């Protein structure tokens, strides 16, 4: 390929580098303050033993085809039945990732005359699903219940006859704050619509017995939930909880479900065990909650920062280059902390994203906060 054919791509990378926005892959190194392995299940011996046992039972690593062909394994179906019961849904569908599940849902279920009202900070996968679908869409200001309601009222005033879909995260991945789910569900019900809740960062950690922040709202036929399996559950993939009729519709119409090779049956076996661990070992959630409280006190006393109230804590920096420098310094001192920059977060809100997991202890947290305070002070503009 000629050099000129590559120039436009090279120019984009140079521009990103100039703005301190170029992304680079880097290996794991240092104490974990970055991963979403909130309950430490990714390295759980019980999870490893369950997957080893599944191999011994002949459960294959690969599905060998799509779910509608020979790829539909009995372990997939067992997982979906157990997950639906665990999360209080009529049905569940297992996907290879939360991104794939969100794209499948938003490109398939909202119809041409419907309206999707999504939180301004919703995950990128929802945006991609909306772009691939047929429904109209509008952003609502973050966690502003009235903005959601107003968007639907304005749409109805224009003569719209379809159904609205409200799309939010229960716990926001970059800010660590929570959505007002009960109020949003009331809006969905009042306007004959649906509420979609991405529970990715709450699953296993928050809500009744780790069932997510939408637990307790499940009796509504207007609620759909996403539970990713590669964060607190420690495995991979994602589970959509939804009414039976919508699950059947997606099996027949969701292109990324129909035309994708099914997820690994071995991973499905691992997720079944992860759900059992969530039920059997509530002490993991209790320990994580205690660590969050410890972090909160240090943030107030050492950095003058108000804690988010969850295991996700943003340290707002603002400037891209400064965020990268501070993160690099902490990495050099043995703490795996990453800078998050636009477009992942809004312009001017570059930050360090601290993730608190059971992979760290109080001594390591205290040392990290101490070094963070020094790094911020010594890199002031």
* pLDDT at site 380: 87
- What is the Cα–Cα distance from 68 to 188, expressed in whole angstroms? 32
Active-site residue, 123 included: yes
- pLDDT digits 0-9 by tens, 266-292: 999 999 999 999 999 999 999 999 999
Active-site residue, 173 included: yes
CB 31 within 8 A of CB 333: no
The tokens describing 218, both together, are 């499940």
CATH (one of 1.10.730.10, 3.90.1150.10, 3.40.50.720, 3.40.190.10) for 28-40+282-378: 3.90.1150.10
Q: What is the pTM of this model?
A: 0.94
CATH 3.90.1150.10: which residues of the chain?
Answer: 28-40+282-378
Question: Which helix (H) or strand (E) segment is 119 a member of?
Answer: strand 115-119
CATH 3.40.640.10: which residues of the chain?
Answer: 59-280
| Phi, psi values for residue 337, rounded to 5° | -125, 135
- What mean pLDDT do residues 43-54 have? 97
* pLDDT at site 164: 98
* pLDDT at site 29: 87
| Phi, psi values for residue 132, rounded to 5° | -85, -10
CATH number corresponding to 59-280 = 3.40.640.10
Active-site residue, 301 included: no
- pLDDT digits 0-9 by tens, 170-188: 999 999 999 999 999 999 9
Active-site residue, 306 included: no
The candidate with the shortest Cα–Cα distance to 169, out of 153, 159, 158, 180, is 180
- pLDDT digits 0-9 by tens, 297-336: 999 999 999 999 999 999 999 999 999 999 999 999 999 9
Query: From the candidates 37, 169, 175, 199, which is the catalytic residue?
Result: 169
Query: From the candidates 73, 123, 191, 227, which is the catalytic residue?
Result: 123
* Confidence band for 27, pLDDT divided at 50, 70 and 90: confident
């Amino acid at each position: 390929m000629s050099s000129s054919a590559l120039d436009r791509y090279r120019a984009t990378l140079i521009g990103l580098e100039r703005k301190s926005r170029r992304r680079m892959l880097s290996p794991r190194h240092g104490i974990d303050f970055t991963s979403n392995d909130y309950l430490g299940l990714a390295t759980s011996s019980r999870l490893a033993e369950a997957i080893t046992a599944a191999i011994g039972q002949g459960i294959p690593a690969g599905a060998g085809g799509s779910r509608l062909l020979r790829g539909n394994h009995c372990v997939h179906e067992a997982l979906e039945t157990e997950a639906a019961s665990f999360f209080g849904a009529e049905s569940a569908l297992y996907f290879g990732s939360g991104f794939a599940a969100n794209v499948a849902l938003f490109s398939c279920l909202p119809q041409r005359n419907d309206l999707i009202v999504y939180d301004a900070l919703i995950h990128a996968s929802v945006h991609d699903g909306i772009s691939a679908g047929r429904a109209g869409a509008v952003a609502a200001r973050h966690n502003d219940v009235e903005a959601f309601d107003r968007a639907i009222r304005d749409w109805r005033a224009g003569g719209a006859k379809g159904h609205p879909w409200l799309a939010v995260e229960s716990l926001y991945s970059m800010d660590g704050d929570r959505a007002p789910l009960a109020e949003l569900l009331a809006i969905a019900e009042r306007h004959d619509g649906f509420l979609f809740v991405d529970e990715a960062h709450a699953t296993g950690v928050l809500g009744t017995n780790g069932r997510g922040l939408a637990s307790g709202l499940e009796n509504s036929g207007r609620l759909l939930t996403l539970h990713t399996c590669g964060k607190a559950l420690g495995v991979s993939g994602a589970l959509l909880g939804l009414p039976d009729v919508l699950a059947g519709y997606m099996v027949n119409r969701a292109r990324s479900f129909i035309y994708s090779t099914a997820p690994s049956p071995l991973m499905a076996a691992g997720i079944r065990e992860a759900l059992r661990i969530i039920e059997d070992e509530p002490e993991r959630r209790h320990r994580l909650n205690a660590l969050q409280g410890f972090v909160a006190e240090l943030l107030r006393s050492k950095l003058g920062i108000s804690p988010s109230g969850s295991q996700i804590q943003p340290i707002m920096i603002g400037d891209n280059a400064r965020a990268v420098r501070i993160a690099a310094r902490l990495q050099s001192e043995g703490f795996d902390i990453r800078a998050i920059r636009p477009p992942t977060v809004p312009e001017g809100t570059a930050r360090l994203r601290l993730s608190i997991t059971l992979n760290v202890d109080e001594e390591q947290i205290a040392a990290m906060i101490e070094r963070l305070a020094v790094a911020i002070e010594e890199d002031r503009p």
